[in-house]
Structure 1
Amino acid sequence: MIESRYSAVEICAGAGGQALGLHKAGFITSLAVELDPAASETLSRNTGVRVAVGDVADDAVWRPAEYEGIDLFAGGVPCPPFSIAGKQLGSSDERDLFAWAIEQVAVIRPRAVMLENVRGLASTRFSGYRQRVLDRLAQLGYVANWRLLHASDFGVAQLRPRFVLVALSQDDAPYFRWPEPTPTTVTVGNLLRDLMAAGGWPHADEWAAMAAGIGPTIVGGSKKHGGADLGPTRAKQVWRSLGVDGRGIADAPPGPDAPPPTVTHPRLTIEMVARLQGWSEGDKWQFAGRKTSQYRQIGNAFPPPVAEAVGRSIVTALNHDGLPHHTPQLSADVHDPVYRALSKADGYVSIEALASALTEHSIADVEQRLAQLAQDFTLDVDVTATGTAYKLGEFRGFTGQTNHQRHEFFERHRNKVS
């Protein structure tokens, strides 16, 4: 482990997967903020980091201004607003904290930002949302962009795509390079073979040969849903092909009298799921709470090896190591030219002008993008004899407003928010 030199604040910190990876990359976490008491206990028990427990947007829990000038502002804000497994409500989902987190960058003024979420945020549905984030960071003096990273490219035996946002100051951004995928031969079988054999099961080698592949994404889920299992029907089918019963989590590995995997597939234990998520035996991580809570903590975590890889790239940029890019890898792509055209206009923009902002696209394409934008922003429409024009209105999302509907929702459903 390298010597830590840079400071970090982490929000929505969960069970510490990101905190562990960032520590290995060279960061000291000054504060972690987490809503779930069990995950907070896991963090405290394993890291010794100061943990603020409660709603991250509550000034009574922590005050972002007290951490002005921190080196890294990081977190894994709630994913249900963007998940393809949900309704993809985006800013209309009261759990959405992405826009709020971006506003804290204006308060904390860190040198670097790292926020991660599900791949659903990379979809066309959220192109305007992403563009708003990038434009706001540019206003604050940061160079930023997203990258879809797969955990299996960083030594983790599951696919687990994560959409990662990195932003750096203009001085540091030219030295940033996204981490390169690392070829690996790790499989579910060779990773978990020793744990499957730990109870004296004589068929562990046979099972490991069956499990010679990468597992699907482990789904932690939310407090709204039931107990611990390995995901939806399609995921369970993949697990079955790897010799794993995905309908639940076992309390212990198979014993000496357990049948061979060709007769009965074994279930994974909490320890096995944690290893699949990227915790190693040497981390000696202990998860607080009951089995379902432990599984949810692990399943919702950012895999430590991926956090470490991105963290090391950020450290390289903060150190100004290597040659600077004339065109930084973080140069902000235009994710939504229709949003960009509307946001820069002083008044209404005709639909024909919006169509010209798209390359080789039609009026129908613009109308589809406008319909998507209308889910996250108010859109004013002006219909005249000469045609239809649009003006971008208010963003619907929570950015810290005292009168936002999120506050009422949170108070009414506090025990179900995750």
Structure 2
Amino acid sequence: MRSVELFAGAGGLAMGCEIAGFEHLAVVEWDKWACDTVRENQKRGYPILAGWNLHEGDVRAFDWSSIPKDIELLAGGPPCQPFSIGGKHKAHHDGRDMFPATVEVIRHLRPKAFIVENVKGLTRSAFANYFHYIQLQLEFPELPPRLDEDWAEHLARLQMEKSSGKRKGSGLTYNVIPTLVNAADYGVPQKRERVFIIGFRDDLEIEWSFPAPTHSYDALLYEQWISGAYWRRHRISRPEMPDKIAARVATIRISREPRTTLPWRTVRDAIQGLPDPESPTAFQVPNHVFQPGARVYPGHTGSPLDLPAKTLKAGGHGVPGGENMLVKDDGSVRYFTVRESARIQTFPDGFHFHGSWSETMRQLGNAVPVVLAQRVASSVAEQLALAELKRVASMVPSVKRKSA
């Protein structure tokens, strides 16, 4: 299945889509360091990236006429700074808002489906109207803003179009499904909440819902405090249960409902097998270099070993990245190494990151976890394949009549 990737960064979403069976005809990213990471892995012969046509530059400057229309998928995570909790919250007033550019590419390429990922902050009440505006633009990409319209006027026109129902199913329109998800619920060792906006072209008549969670906190609590399997697996003694979770554990213990999910994956699960970054053997592991200077201060307390990590931030120190710390068994803290952070973002160990400490942590903090990307993209690929089978099957009777 053919696809293109916008705002690719270091390639987390693109890798997940590739593993799910999509072939990228173009991978576009403006940041040199992120592109260098992709190029370095291509030079090393890393297989997932081997066929990527990487373009370093602005998506608005790419020659989209070189890509055939009617491709199966467009995927990308437009820059999240306009909507992130740690940003300036300018939304449509922020020059980094790339949702209009994303809609423009969709209008040109007419993909059968798209996957757009962004931060939880996009769902904040302060952005409610603009979030609705984004969804309507993706639903009706053939109705761009007029030269004399501001975004609020364009929103009103799109709302009128939707309420009329005239255009749905004709022209280029999409069935758009936005979902807020926690990556930990899908096997990522990180509590990372993100918005996915999935769209299928209306003419395909696809009914789709976001994949059901595969992992849960309750399943982790069961393994830790009821069966004890978690501690046995890591060959450590079971500690005292924290008082704050006792009531929830008691509820799980008396519940007769069958356990249908796997346990959340923890930091300890993620970094298992890696040497201590201060040990003499740490240099043998790529990107596994100790970074000094970690300290606790209000709002930055690090991630406990036996829970999924807190959300990795796009930075090395201070507000952007000072929370990217591990709390050791003795209560002290240290920064996650790049390799540990890569595992928390579910990048394979064979994938190496290029750049300084702060630069690589920025790439990782901005990335989509590979496992989550694969899960979403696989679900989209399955629906597209079923739609194609249905289309081919519908043509069979007419072929028979012609031959008769």
Q: 2:340 aligns with which of 253, 272, 275?
A: 272
| Conserved? CA contact 1:175–1:323, under 8 Å | no
Q: Name the counterpart of 2:11.
A: 16
Tell me the equivalent position of 2:162. none
What TM-score, normalized by structure 1, do the two folds share?
0.62
Q: Is the 8 A contact 1:152 1:158 kept in 2?
A: yes
Instruction: Give, in whole Å, the separation in 1 of the partners of 2:264 and 2:177.
Output: 30
Q: Any gaps of 5 or more consecutive residues in structure 2?
A: 42-48, 141-171, 216-262, 282-302, 391-404
**Helix, strand or coil at the partner of 2:272:** helix
Structure 1 gaps of 5+ residues are: 1-5, 203-208, 222-226, 244-260, 325-418
- The answer (yes or no) to whether the contact 1:228–1:296 under 8 Å persists in 2 is no
Structure 1 residues 228 and 66 mapped into 2: Cα distance closer, same or farther (>3 Å)? same
Report the AA paired with residue 83 of structure 2.
F
The amino acid that maps onto 1:219 is: K
Q: TM-score, normalised by structure 2?
A: 0.64
Verify: 1:165 aligned to 2:233, yes or no.
no
Q: CA deviation at 1:304?
A: 0.6
Question: Matched residue of 1:136: which SS?
Answer: helix
- Report if the CA contact (8 A) 1:151-1:158 is conserved: yes
Partners of 2:59 and 2:304 in 1: how far apart? 44
Matched, 1:313 2:385: no
Relative distance call for 1:314 and 1:263 in structure 2 (3 A) is closer
Distance 1:121 1:145, change over 3 A: same
User: Which of these residues, 308, 322, 327, is aligned with residue 214 of structure 1?
Assistant: 308
SS in 2 for 1:262: coil
User: Partner of 2:58: helix, strand, or coil?
Assistant: coil
Check whether the contact 2:79–2:96 (CA below 8 A) recurs between aligned residues. yes
Query: 1:356-398: CA deviations, max 9, x gaps?
Result: xxxxxxxxxxxxxxxxxxxxxxxxxxxxxxxxxxxxxxxxxxx
1:286 and 2:355 correspond:
no
Tell me how far 1:290 sits from its aligned partner. 2.1
Equivalents in 2 of 1:198, 1:85: separation in Å? Answer: 29
Residue 295 (1) aligns with residue 361 (2):
yes
**Distance (Å, rounded) in 2 between the aligned partners of 1:37 and 1:172:** 38
Cα 1:100–1:185 shift into 2, 3 Å: closer
Q: What is the CA-CA distance between 1:198 and the residue it aligns to?
A: 7.0
1:274-305 per-residue CA deviation (whole Å, 9 max, x = no partner) reads 00111133xx1011222221111111101111
Query: How far has the Cα of 1:77 moved from its partner?
Result: 0.6
1:253-281 CA distances to partner (integer Å, 9 max, x unpaired)? xxxxxxxx527434321100100111133
- SS state of the match for residue 143, structure 1? strand
SS in 2 for 1:195: coil
1:191 lines up with 2:270 in the alignment = yes
Q: Distance in 1 between matches of 2:319 and 2:339?
A: 14
Aligned match of 1:151: 183
**How far apart are 1:151 and its partner, in Å?**
1.0
Residues 65, 275 of structure 1: alpha-carbon distance in 2 compared, 3 angstrom cutoff = same
When residues 125 and 270 of structure 1 are mapped into structure 2, their CA distance, relative to the original with a 3 A threshold, is same
The aligned counterpart of 1:354 is: none
Q: What's the RMSD between the two structures over aligned residues? A: 2.8
Q: Verify the 8 A CA contact 1:228 1:295 in the aligned structure 2.
A: no
Query: Quick one: percent identity of the two aligned structures?
Result: 31
User: In structure 2, which of residues 202, 211, 214 is the aligned counterpart of residue 182 of structure 1?
Assistant: 214
Distance 1:96 1:197, change over 3 A: same
> Residues 43-93 of structure 1: CA distance to partner in whole angstroms, max 9, x if unpaired?
2333131111112222xx433563422211110110011112122111100
Greater share of helix residues, 1 or 2?
2
**Could you say what secondary structure the match of 1:13 adopts?**
coil
- Kindly provide the amino acid, as one letter, of the partner of residue 314 in structure 1: V
Cα distance in structure 1, aligned partners of 2:67 and 2:277: 47
Name the SS for the 2:335 alignment partner: coil
AA aligned to 1:127 is A
1:215 Cα deviation from its structure 2 partner? 1.2
- The AA in structure 1 aligned to 2:341 is V
The SS at the match of 1:134 is: helix
Q: 1:77 & 1:87 partners in 2: Cα distance?
A: 16
SS in 2 for 1:105: helix
Aligned match of 2:71: 70
Per the alignment, residue 35 of structure 1 pairs with: 30
Give the residue type in structure 2 aligned to 1:191.
A
Q: How far, CA to CA, are the matches of 2:333 and 2:207 in structure 1?
A: 48
Residue correspondence of structure 1 range 252-401 to structure 2 within 5 A: 262=330, 264-281=332-349, 284-320=350-386
Q: How does 1:4-153 map to 2 (within 5 A)?
A: 6-46=1-41, 47-48=49-50, 49-58=52-61, 61-63=62-64, 66-139=67-140, 140-153=172-185
